[in-house]
Amino acid sequence: MKRIMVDYEKCDGCKNCTAACMQAHRKTPGTIYDLDLGDPENESRNFILKDDKGRYKPLFCRHCDDPECVKSCMSGALRKDEVSGHVFYDETRCGSCFMCVMNCPYGVLKPDRFTKSKVIKCDFCVNAGGEPSCVASCPKKAIYVEEV
Which domains are present in the chain? 2-60+122-147 (3.30.70.20)
For residue 1, pLDDT beyond 90: no
Mean pLDDT for the chain? 93
Provide the 3-class DSSP secondary structure of residue 102.
helix
Q: Are 137 and 128 in contact (CB under 8 A)?
A: no
Q: Give me the mean pLDDT over the 73-89 stretch.
A: 96
Q: Which residues pair with 87 in a beta bridge?
A: 80
The pLDDT-based confidence of 129 (bands split at 50, 70, 90) is confident
Note the pTM of the prediction, 2 decimals.
0.89
Provide the 3-class DSSP secondary structure of residue 137.
helix
Identify the pLDDT of residue 14. 96
Please work out, in degrees rounded to the nearest 5, the angle formed at the alpha carbon of residue 131 by the alpha carbons of 129 and 135: 150
Cα(122)–Cα(6) distance, integer angstroms: 15
Identify the pLDDT of residue 27. 87
Share of the chain above pLDDT 90, in %: 84
The pLDDT-based confidence of 105 (bands split at 50, 70, 90) is very high
Closest CA to 6 of 69, 67, 85, 62: 62
Q: Give me the mean pLDDT over the 37-42 stretch.
A: 86
Provide the 3-class DSSP secondary structure of residue 2.
strand
Provide the 3-class DSSP secondary structure of residue 114.
coil
For residue 89, pLDDT beyond 90: yes
Q: Give me the mean pLDDT over the 35-45 stretch.
A: 89
